[in-house]
Structure 1
Amino acid sequence: MRINRYIASSGHCSRRRADQLIEEGRVMVNGEKAQIGMTIKKDDRVTVDGKDIAAIPDDERVVLVFHKPAGITCTSDPKRRDNIIDYIDYHKRIFTVGRLDRDSRGLILLTDDGILAHRIMHSSFGHEKEYRVTVDRPIDESFLNNMREGVMLEDQMTLPARAWQTAERTFHLVISQGLNRQIRRMCEALGFEVIDLLRVRVMHITLGSQKEGELRELSPKEKQELFKNLGMEDGRP
């Protein structure tokens, strides 16, 4: 495994930050200064600022599924009283995989694995996210077709999506992008206001009957399927 990925998979920092630490001479491998791009083997000792770090074994990696209530912010900033990390109060250091805006509800993943988080949420991997959306007035097929074909947001057209109606003012939308407040902005561009936004699925992981505010860990079987879908079948990219 390349050293920047090794450091990132330990939960210490991102791969980009790991490269910066290496360039600053703060990373040592077996007592010698690390080099950008070097490969870390099983028995190598890696330190950052003199402290040992280790990639987290596959079976110890944390992947949590949380049903986020409205009013909780997807940040770890302790200055925000409504931050998700304090709300969950998990016993290990974790962070969110992507975001849901403060007013939205539903499925949010949390992990201690930076590489896994990147592979799930970065648009280049094209993983699906499904939402149930309720707007302020009745929708029709023209509205759904616009959502499917793409909506112009300022200077950017959203990618094609799947959409289907489930009630007079409610529809499901499946997207692979993750633009800031994307669905709310898409609806606003078409003259609609979002009343309720609930994420129900990320990839194969569904909210199911999980209640608002509930937290659960992925089962070993779910983890294995997740790693396989991400091209990380042994827990490593």
Structure 2
Amino acid sequence: MSQEKEDGERLQKVIAKAGIASRRHAEQLILEGRVKVNGAKISVLGYKVGMDDSVEVDGRPIKHTEKLDYYLLNKPVGVITSAQDPQGRPTVIDLLKEVPARVYPVGRLDYDTSGALLLTNDGELAHRLMHPSYGVEKTYRVWIKGPMGINAIESLRQGVLLEDGNTAPAKVQRVCGVSKRSNEELRPNHIEILEVTIHEGRNRQIRRMFSAVGYPVFKLERIRFGSLSQGNTLPPGAYRALTKEEIKELRSQVGL
């Protein structure tokens, strides 16, 4: 058997930090004999490994993460939420090329959507933030040609039927663009801005929801991700490191 490092880190934590699985799932992988350290199968919990140990899960090596880094990016339109793009388009990683750590986006924003995007090498946090069971909320500012009828708003609040099933109820509120007069008195194609909060993460979900109720989106920005608020501090393409308080709050939100 591989020699255990007394001052090392627990194997299940190393696997979780690498983003392979949650810590609980990592424990299952170990008990099922699917994890090897330096070529030897490890099937007991609590085994400790060091930075120089080779760890494999189902025969695939994982990378140790020594220092955890967290950045909030204001992703601009026209940038891919990916580490690289075969078509040569700019990616969010290109915007963080001055960052010494190798970080990855948590979830994604569409090419034509801007706003708050978290990038980190904390695999366990990323896994939980993206897992639907934790119900992490995302708030978007949505521009449409309105005014949006109350029936359409209620449909969004109750959940709408898409090709991949019904959406969960959304929180919807008007921000600006609608006058104090009744909807019937407003001009057609009146520009309206709404804020919508969801906890799901389906592909192009907000755009598909609004199209389903008859109001295509022509501009979309994410203004909040979990406890992180972009505010007005970051211009498009800019980023900043999270504060210790923000990291603590974000991790607490998903039980870490």
**Helix, strand or coil at the partner of 2:54:** strand
Q: Which residue of 1 aligns with 2:174?
A: 165
Q: Which residue of 1 aligns with 2:104?
A: 95
Q: Which residue of 1 aligns with 2:205?
A: 182
- Range with greater deviation from structure 2 (147-156 or 87-96): 87-96
Query: TM-score scaled to structure 1, two decimals?
Result: 0.82
5 Å-filtered alignment, 1:58-137, equals 60-79=67-86, 80-89=88-97, 90-137=99-146
> Is 1:196 aligned with 2:219?
yes
User: Cα–Cα, structure 1 residues 214 and 125, in superposed 2: closer, same or farther, change >3 Å?
Assistant: same
**Which runs of no fewer than 5 residues in structure 2 stay unpaired?**
1-8, 178-191
Size of the alignment, in residue pairs? 222
User: CA deviation digits over 1:200-220, x for unaligned, max 9?
Assistant: 001111001122111001011
Q: Is the 8 A contact 1:46 1:52 kept in 2?
A: no
**Helix, strand or coil at the partner of 1:136:** strand
Q: Which residue of 2 aligns with 1:40?
A: 47
Aligned-pair CA distance for 1:222: 1.3
Aligned-pair CA distance for 1:178: 0.5
Q: Which residue of 1 aligns with 2:148?
A: 139
Q: Is the 8 A contact 2:11 2:48 kept in 1?
A: no
- Amino acid corresponding to residue 151 of structure 2 in structure 1: S
Moved over 4 A (4+): 22-25, 42-45, 51-55
User: Cα–Cα, structure 1 residues 211 and 44, in superposed 2: closer, same or farther, change >3 Å?
Assistant: closer
Aligned-pair CA distance for 1:44: 9.1
Note the aligned Cα RMSD (angstroms). 2.9
- Range with greater deviation from structure 2 (104-113 or 160-169): 160-169
Q: For 2:62 and 2:84, locate their aligned partners in 1 and report how far apart those are by CA, in whole Å.
A: 26
> Is 1:15 aligned with 2:39?
no
Q: For 1:32 and 1:164, locate their aligned partners in 2 and report how far apart those are by CA, in whole Å.
A: 56
Aligned-pair CA distance for 1:148: 0.6
User: CA deviation digits over 1:161-215, x for unaligned, max 9?
Assistant: 1100112311100101001100000011111111111100011110011221110
**Helix, strand or coil at the partner of 2:48:** coil
Q: For 2:13 and 2:44, locate their aligned partners in 1 and report how far apart those are by CA, in whole Å.
A: 9
**Helix, strand or coil at the partner of 2:133:** helix
Q: Which residue of 1 aligns with 2:185?
A: none
Q: For 2:21 and 2:217, locate their aligned partners in 1 and report how far apart those are by CA, in whole Å.
A: 36
Aligned pair partner of 2:231 in 208, 215, 227: 208
**Helix, strand or coil at the partner of 1:15:** coil
> Is 1:227 aligned with 2:251?
yes
User: Cα–Cα, structure 1 residues 69 and 140, in superposed 2: closer, same or farther, change >3 Å?
Assistant: same
Aligned-pair CA distance for 1:151: 0.6
**Helix, strand or coil at the partner of 1:14:** coil
User: Cα–Cα, structure 1 residues 144 and 36, in superposed 2: closer, same or farther, change >3 Å?
Assistant: farther
> Is 1:156 aligned with 2:180?
no
